[in-house]
Amino acid sequence: MMAEVLYMSIKDYAKHVSASVGTIYDMCRKGKLPAVKIGGWRINVKRADELLEQMCNEHMTEYTPVIKPAKVSIRTANAANSYLARLEQIRKGVV
């Protein structure tokens, strides 16, 4: 059984989350990902995954489209009612 990986290099973590090495490096440098610099950057995998998940959720809710109900004009509503009434007459054999 393999032990859980606690820290990864930038290159390994970038591959883990399918991101570019430059993006992960910038995020570490700016303090957006939990990392320490020991020779090179080492990223706390569990905390970084949680932060990225939170960032993605916030981004998705920020850009969720607002669905507005369609406008129905009186003319359209009357035409639909007339059409349905006509269909009912045809069905009953009145016409």
Q: Answer whether residue 43 is part of any domain.
A: yes
pLDDT confidence tier of residue 77, bands split at 50, 70 and 90:
low
pLDDT confidence tier of residue 80, bands split at 50, 70 and 90:
low
Q: Domain tally for the chain?
A: 1
Span 11-34, pLDDT tens digits: 999 999 999 999 999 999 999 999
Q: Which domain holds residue 42?
A: 7-62
Q: Answer whether residue 95 is part of any domain.
A: no
Rounded distance between C-alpha atoms, residue 42 and residue 39, angstroms: 9
Helix axes 10-17, 45-62, angle to 10 degrees: 40
Indicate the average pLDDT of the chain.
81
Rounded distance between C-alpha atoms, residue 67 and residue 34, angstroms: 37
Scanning the structure block, which residue is given the tokens 């430059």?
22
Q: Answer whether residue 75 is part of any domain.
A: no
Length of the chain: 95
Q: Answer whether residue 40 is part of any domain.
A: yes
With 0.75 as the threshold, say if the pTM is over it: no
Q: Answer whether residue 14 is part of any domain.
A: yes
The runs of H, that is alpha helices, within the chain are 10-17, 21-29, 45-62, 74-92
Q: Answer whether residue 85 is part of any domain.
A: no
Span 33-57, pLDDT tens digits: 999 988 889 999 999 999 999 988 8
